[in-house]
Amino acid sequence: MCPGTAHVESMSRITFGYTRTSTGEQTHDSQLDALTAAGATRIYTDTVSGTVAAMERVEFSKLMDAAREGDEVLIVRLDRLGRSVPDILATIELLEARGVALRSLDGIVTSGPMGRMVTTVLGAVAALERDLILERSRAGMAAARARGTHMGRPHSLSPEQRAHARELRAGGMSYARIAQALGTSKRTAVRVTRDVEVGGSLAAAELDTQRRISARAAKRLTLLPGDRAVADNL
């Protein structure tokens, strides 16, 4: 490659700037001034919380559409990319995958050996942060269970309704009728009463009816079509 070609390629590289504020009451002025002084020629600005993923921000998405391999993105601080280390690391990895370097005015650069070291450290910190969050979540759930707090989806029936459902089932009422009486689904009725020992004449009658229906159906399968009318009158 001749020197002239290298010069043209270097001149075609663009230094983008990116600023972010969380609310409309904050201004981008100080960030814009700093990035312009540092050489940014095309600056994109977002007014959005740092908890929103970078690619879900309107202006940052436009920046990514415009950036090409060899370009550079300039920011004043890493926290302009996101609030958490995992989010910041994900954005850095996205830029690296496209061959775009990131440079922060607080001294962090993602290109070259030092940049790779920074990315590695951020990855380790992100993993530690995820582990700590998981550990705190598990500890919180264990403490809640110890206090008797129900975990997961809320019950569709109150404790009084569940107790009433169990009484109805113990008295022989069917799941379908329990569900209708309590305004819930049959699946819920089954779940809250599955360990109840059924008793009473109603349950016995239902069971006997079900057995007779099954026996009748089985007998029909063994008869010729002309004989089924006779079986239906049995």
| 155-170 pLDDT per residue, tens | 677 888 888 888 888 8
- What is the rounded distance in angstroms from the CA atom of residue 145 to the CA atom of residue 135? 15
**What is the pLDDT averaged over residues 185-196?**
83
Catalytic entry in 10, 12, 22, 61: 22
Residue with tokens 């290109």: 111
Q: Domain coordinates of the chain in residue numbers? A: 3-128, 159-232
Provide the b/e sequence for 11-49 (b: ≥16 CB within 10 Å).
Answer: eeebbbbbbbbeeeeeeeeebbebbeeeebeebbbbbbe
Report whether pLDDT(231) > 50. no
pLDDT at position 74 over 90: yes
Structure tokens at 136: 């705190």
Q: Please give the CATH architecture assigned to the domain spanning 3-128.
A: 3-Layer(aba) Sandwich (3.40)
Q: What is the pLDDT of residues 75-86, one digit of tens each?
A: 998 888 887 778
Beta bridge partners of 15: 72
State the Cα–Cα distance between residues 78 and 186, nearest whole angstrom.
Answer: 54
22 is catalytic: yes
Query: Is 0.85 surpassed by the pTM of this model?
Result: no
